[in-house]
Amino acid sequence: YHILVTKRRVTMAISICWILALIIGFTPVMGWNGLDTSVDAPTPNVSLVAERTLPGERVSLLGFFPRPFQVARIANLSRAAACSFRSVISLNYLVYFIFFCWTLLPLSTMLAVYAHSFHLVRRYVSNQRFRSAKRCDVHTARTLFLMMGLFCLCWLPLNLVNCLAFFCPSCCPSPWLVNLMVALTHLNSLLNPMVYALRKKDFGTALKAVVVQLLPGASKYKSCLARSKVSPVFHVTRP
């Protein structure tokens, strides 16, 4: 692990992830959006290709993007269409690009890799020579599977509902159900640090240190965490 996972490789991997996230996130801004359908209703003064029309001025957007913006005049924006996620982001973008391309494909790959890793770990720890490493390796493998399971549980329902709404427009679920699934996707961001805190002692100790710093009388808790691997430094002390 220490040979393969170097600082340079980790930096490159994180940079690639951020670049991909920016490309995926800005794709609707570059033209793949639902503004074509949201402004089909008879509304006045809607600007067109590769520019945004403002009252009294015209702002160019470099001219080489296919259709970065198609927005109504600011003066008439409230009459153009209801401002909502569904009216701006198109379902074909959510289904084909987000779900099929950037969710199902990476998820299937990760599940296959983790399943193979778990199989290798079980075969590795069955050797008597490495009996002492058994508990730690199995614990780490189970944590990975738990994280993947929570990700699937939180994100797949909303993506499946998007597929249902796209391929069967007459089968749209209730708005409260969609809102519940959206809240479930946000809940995944809360569950990740909780899982790490419960499964990883070092991470849990560091998280406790951050929380304890915000509590009144933080200095009283310093001795409780001083003997841990992650020894917090308390900069805030209160009487």
Tokens of 102: 């950037």
Does any domain span residue 18?
Answer: no
Count each helix (H run) and each strand (E run) in the chain, helices first: 10, 2
d(CA 160, CA 32) in angstroms, rounded, equals 20
Output the six-digit token pair for 186.
């946000």
**What is the pLDDT at residue 95?**
94
- Pair 108, 156 in one domain: yes
Task: Provide, rounded to the nearest whole percent, the portion of the chain with pLDDT above 90.
Answer: 30
- Ranges of beta strands (E only) in the chain are 51-54, 57-60
DSSP type of residue 174: P
Maximum mean pLDDT: which of 71-75, 106-110, 115-119: 106-110
Residue 46 has pLDDT above 50, yes or no: no
Tell me, yes or no, whether 188 lies in a domain.
yes
CATH at residue 151: 1.20.1070.10
Query: Of 209 and 98, which is predicted with more confidence?
Result: 98
pLDDT for residue 35: 72
Query: Is residue 111 domain-shared with residue 182, that is, in the same domain?
Result: yes
Do 143 and 50 share a structural domain? no
**Sign of torsion, CA 194 18 27 63?**
positive
Say what the pLDDT of residue 42 is: 45
Q: How does the average pLDDT of the chain come out, rounded? A: 74
Residues 109 and 187 in one domain: yes
Q: For residues 195 and 143, is the Cβ–Cβ distance under 8 A? A: yes
Look at the alpha carbons of 104, 96, 193, 17 in this order and tell me if their dihedral is positive or negative.
positive
Q: What is the dihedral of CA 146, 152, 155, 160, to 10 degrees?
A: -160
**68 CB-contact burial (10 Å; exposed 0-12 / middle 13-18 / buried 19+):** buried
Q: Cβ neighbours of residue 40 under 8 Å, at least 6 residues apart?
A: none
167 and 210 in a single domain? The answer is no
- Is the same domain home to 185 and 95? yes
pLDDT confidence tier of residue 226, bands split at 50, 70 and 90: low
Residue 47 domain-assigned (yes or no): yes
Please determine, for residue 188, whether its predicted confidence score (pLDDT) is greater than 50.
yes
Please indicate, yes or no, if residue 1 is contained in any of the structural domains.
Answer: no
User: Which residue from 69, 33, 35 is spatially nearest to 52, judged by alpha carbons?
Assistant: 69
Average pLDDT over residues 70-96: 66
Domain count, the chain: 3
Give the DSSP letter of residue 72: B
In this structure, are strands 51-54 and 57-60 parallel, antiparallel, or unpaired? antiparallel
CA-to-CA separations, 45 to 17, 52, 83, in angstroms, rounded:
39, 11, 17
Host domain of residue 152: 90-199
* Domain stops at, among 88, 104, 129: 88
Average pLDDT over residues 72-89: 58
